Structure 1
Amino acid sequence: MNTDLAGLGHLFLVFFLFHFSSFMVIPAIIDVTMEAVCPGPRRVLRRHLPQRLPERIVLACNRSEVYFYVFYVATIVAGIFCQGTMHSLCFAYVADHVRPKRRAAAFALLSGVSAAGFVSGTLTARFLAASSTFQVAAAVATATALYLGVFLPDSGGVSCTDGDEACDPLLQASSSSTSSSASSSDEELSPRLPPHKAGLPSLSDMFTFLTGSLAMSGAATITFFCSLGERGLETALMYYLKAQFGYSKDEFADLLLIVAAAGMLSQLTVMPILAPILGEEILLIVGLLGGCTQVFLYGIAWSYWVPYLSAAFVILSAFVNPSIRANVSKNVASNEQGIAQGCISGISSFGSILGPLIFTPLTAWALSETGPFNFKGFSILCAGIFTVIAFIISLRMRGAQSSACKKSIVQQEQA
């Protein structure tokens, strides 16, 4: 492989350690919350995902009530400025080092590393006390920041193109002149956004940026509906499984680990193999179809083992996010990689906000004894509707892009 692979190797390690330290604290934060502000047998219904270094250092020092509130204030302030930054910058960094036709595989590896961090962090937390968990997480996060500053080289903000074979760390052999010319042809057929003007972009600039091409607007729409459906599923699933099958916390943990392990397996092994063959558009359609199947199996589950079967479809639904990121990356200019990935992250966050607001009351209504009908999985199926909408949009976008490519080829032949 090309020597530039070492650059992505450093990035993968940074991304893994970041998620390892982030997800390690999730099992412990519930116990800390109970001890700090919730004495007695009251159940804690809120989950929190601390992702940045200061919060972990706060609870690593002390877990009293005062430190607990300092932790949440630091989390809110850091989240306003930093939420999603790590993912957007890492995707942009990969885009600067990998050719457009190979980015789907690279983004899949990056997402798989994230899933590996989740699995490793969750398993590690099972063997650590609450006090040690936050100390280890803070130490790993600090080491990650130092490692990033020392070993990860700056990309310079210039993306690889299909003709730049030397900067593709995933390319194992030089391509022939025939494939090179075909890649150049594909590059010309891809829609390109106009160069983004210097300075801080306004809301109108962002709207123009998102609607500047079919690929970008389609990716933004699919991201929104996918995020809305995923957060709706996450909001309702645990309560639904508890009410329908009496799942305990151990069964919840097993289900989450199955989901994470399946996603990690898919993104680290399956998708890098299929991406160069099928392309990110086909993988996106397959992933959304798998996501629809997964959600509807949850909603109509007739036995306690059906949710475990449904979780296996994560192997397919894990294709969605890397495929969207790769499709966006290849359709924007080199100086717009960061802002494009940031837009997708922002839209995903917006869907994540709306999801619980919509599905929390809907789930409570569906699970209540006074509901108009006895169908506890109703809110799950409603979440699946948003995934179906995203699936339909991906099919229409695929058809429109194929028609545009055929039209361009005909015009080139006539010329």
Structure 2
Amino acid sequence: MENWKNLFHLFVTVFLSYFATLVVNPTIADVTMEAVCPVICFAHILSFDSVQIGGLGSVILMPLIGTLSDEYGRKALLTIPLSFSIIPLVILALKRTTEFFYVFYVLKTFTSMVTEGGIICLSLSYLADNVSEGKRVSAFGLLGGVISAATVCGTLAARLLPTTRIFQVAAVVSVVAAVYMRIFLKDTTRHIDALEQPILKPGTETNDVGNEPLKKTDVIKKIPLPKEILRLLQSSATVSLASFVAFFNGLADAGVQAFLMYYLKARFHFQKDQFAEILLITYIGATISNMILMPILGPLLGEETLLCIGLFAGFLNMLFYSIAWSSWVPYAAAWFGIFLFLSSPSIRCIISKQVGPYEQGIAQGCLMGIASFATAVSPLIFSPLSALFFSEAAPFHFTGFSMLCVGIAYLVGFILSTMIKVRPLLSRGRVCGEPCTLA
């Protein structure tokens, strides 16, 4: 694989960063209730508000970060989310009193607008810069596998470490990730062919600002306008369809993450140990899917076929969860969901092949913004639905109906994905027959 040393350093950076973030997740609920009050509903409201604000903020910031990375380099912009992710962890590493928790909560809410999607968005753009189109689906799958491996390791570490040490370890690892990236990761020079000039880059722009410092006026000029984002999303039928698929996939993924544990607790009275087992099975399967299946099946079947397989597997997975008749069924469904994790890397790979090198950042940023919007919208749809069918006022008795609806979101994405036909950028030419322009 091209530039394998750079990719290795990127993977190490992403692993350390996600490990630092995910190792604290199992303890957040307990820390919140201990610091604020022992009321589950209030703790859940705080978590819900944080996700909503962070998701809506990401819708605006992800295209901006992606655009700036196209101009100033991936490494310079990757420094921002990596640095921001350190701050909330340091707060709770110092103390976990009520005052410190509220400071953590505010900082976490606002930094998540940049950190939640920024690291993965910029990492995908970096991969697209360094990997040829034929190997890109494998590289994107490996990145997803690294994140899944970080999740598994973070979950295991959270079970072994005492709560008093978890945030200290997370803060140290987060600092190491940022320092490691600044020392070892190298920005690569993109040699742009005339046929690969960007859709959105003006033909009159001739200066190379890749190594210039970011100025306030420069940043303002580079803010992508809504019409530019819309133009990118409408640049081809493939990009438009992939954007809709990304929305429904993000809608379903957020529904699974937010409500599956509550459903299993209400349906089978699962406790912490059962939840941990389900999560470990799920993310071990994700690691296998992204690090083994994607590199093997990607070149053979193509990313559009893998996308269809992943989305249909998501539908079947939620169908089994919704009709689970025994406590062993969720465990079997978790293993079956190994194919579900083929979808996200496939969507990102499809998008990356439809734009030029100077547009990888904004394309991945727009895609991440769509996923963030879906994450913000998902609880508004599935939370009332789930509450209704667990109440006595349910129109009919089907406690797994909300999980089935999550599966239907996957199914809609699957139907749309069957219409996607990937055509390389060079074979389809410029948008609307526009002539190529030199940067």
Do both proteins adopt the same fold according to a TM-score greater than 0.5, normalized to the shorter chain?
A: yes
| Residue 137 (1) aligns with residue 142 (2) | no
What is the TM-score when the length of structure 2 is the normalising length?
0.80
Q: C-alpha distance in 2, partners of 1:40/1:262? A: 34
Out of 108, 118, 126, the position equivalent to 2:151 is 118
| Residue 222 (1) aligns with residue 238 (2) | no
Q: C-alpha distance in 2, partners of 1:149/1:158? A: 23
Matched residue, 1:304: 327
Secondary structure at the counterpart of residue 84 of structure 1 = helix
Out of 329, 343, 346, the position equivalent to 1:320 is 343
Alignment of 1:181-260 (within 5 A): 194-197=199-202, 199-260=222-283
Out of 133, 146, 152, the position equivalent to 2:185 is 152
Matched residue, 2:94: 61
What is the TM-score when the length of structure 1 is the normalising length?
0.85
Q: Residue 250 of structure 2 contacts residue 375 of structure 2 at CA under 8 Å; is this kept in 1?
A: yes
Matched residue, 1:88: 121
Matched residue, 2:371: 348
Q: Residue 290 of structure 2 contacts residue 342 of structure 2 at CA under 8 Å; is this kept in 1?
A: yes
Structure 1 unmatched runs, 5+: 162-187, 407-415
Q: For residues 212 and 260 of structure 1, do their structure 2 counterparts lie closer, same or farther at Cα, with a shift above 3 Å needed?
A: same
Q: Residue 23 of structure 1 contacts residue 122 of structure 1 at CA under 8 Å; is this kept in 2?
A: yes
Out of 382, 401, 404, the position equivalent to 2:405 is 382
Q: For residues 333 and 367 of structure 1, do their structure 2 counterparts lie closer, same or farther at Cα, with a shift above 3 Å needed?
A: same
Show CA shifts across 1:39-83 (max 9, x none).
478784355789811000010011111110110111122123444
Q: C-alpha distance in 2, partners of 1:219/1:360? A: 26
Q: Indicate the RMSD between aligned Cα atoms, in angstroms.
A: 2.4
Secondary structure at the counterpart of residue 301 of structure 1 = coil
- The alpha carbon displacement at 1:315 in A equals 1.6
Q: Residue 53 of structure 1 contacts residue 142 of structure 1 at CA under 8 Å; is this kept in 2?
A: yes
Query: Which amino acid counterpart does residue 64 of structure 1 have in structure 2?
Result: T
Q: Residue 250 of structure 2 contacts residue 371 of structure 2 at CA under 8 Å; is this kept in 1?
A: yes
Matched residue, 1:29: 28
Q: C-alpha distance in 2, partners of 1:121/1:377? A: 29
Secondary structure at the counterpart of residue 327 of structure 2 = coil
- The alpha carbon displacement at 1:401 in A equals 6.4
Q: C-alpha distance in 2, partners of 1:244/1:83? A: 31
Secondary structure at the counterpart of residue 154 of structure 1 = coil
Out of 98, 120, 139, the position equivalent to 2:131 is 98
Give the % identical residues: 41
Q: Residue 291 of structure 1 contacts residue 313 of structure 1 at CA under 8 Å; is this kept in 2?
A: no
| Residue 279 (1) aligns with residue 290 (2) | no
- The alpha carbon displacement at 1:255 in A equals 0.6
Q: Residue 263 of structure 1 contacts residue 315 of structure 1 at CA under 8 Å; is this kept in 2?
A: yes
Q: For residues 216 and 56 of structure 1, do their structure 2 counterparts lie closer, same or farther at Cα, with a shift above 3 Å needed?
A: same
- The alpha carbon displacement at 1:239 in A equals 2.1
Matched residue, 2:74: none
Q: C-alpha distance in 2, partners of 1:8/1:41? A: 42
Query: Which amino acid counterpart does residue 87 of structure 1 have in structure 2?
Result: I
Query: Which amino acid counterpart does residue 334 of structure 1 have in structure 2?
Result: P
Q: C-alpha distance in 2, partners of 1:239/1:16? A: 28
Q: C-alpha distance in 1, partners of 2:261/2:42? A: 14
Q: C-alpha distance in 1, partners of 2:44/2:200? A: 46
Q: C-alpha distance in 2, partners of 1:358/1:367? A: 15
Q: Residue 198 of structure 2 contacts residue 358 of structure 2 at CA under 8 Å; is this kept in 1?
A: no
Q: C-alpha distance in 2, partners of 1:12/1:401? A: 28
Q: Residue 158 of structure 1 contacts residue 335 of structure 1 at CA under 8 Å; is this kept in 2?
A: no
Q: C-alpha distance in 2, partners of 1:218/1:158? A: 29
- The alpha carbon displacement at 1:265 in A equals 0.9
Q: C-alpha distance in 1, partners of 2:40/2:418? A: 50
Secondary structure at the counterpart of residue 205 of structure 1 = helix
Q: Residue 96 of structure 1 contacts residue 155 of structure 1 at CA under 8 Å; is this kept in 2?
A: yes
Structure 2 unmatched runs, 5+: 55-83, 206-221, 429-439
Q: For residues 74 and 353 of structure 1, do their structure 2 counterparts lie closer, same or farther at Cα, with a shift above 3 Å needed?
A: same
Query: Which amino acid counterpart does residue 218 of structure 1 have in structure 2?
Result: L
Number of residue pairs aligned between Structure 1 and Structure 2: 373
Query: Which amino acid counterpart does residue 4 of structure 2 have in structure 1?
Result: L
Q: Residue 295 of structure 1 contacts residue 380 of structure 1 at CA under 8 Å; is this kept in 2?
A: yes
Matched residue, 1:266: 289
Q: For residues 278 and 297 of structure 1, do their structure 2 counterparts lie closer, same or farther at Cα, with a shift above 3 Å needed?
A: same
Secondary structure at the counterpart of residue 394 of structure 2 = coil
Q: C-alpha distance in 1, partners of 2:354/2:304? A: 13
Q: C-alpha distance in 2, partners of 1:40/1:368? A: 20
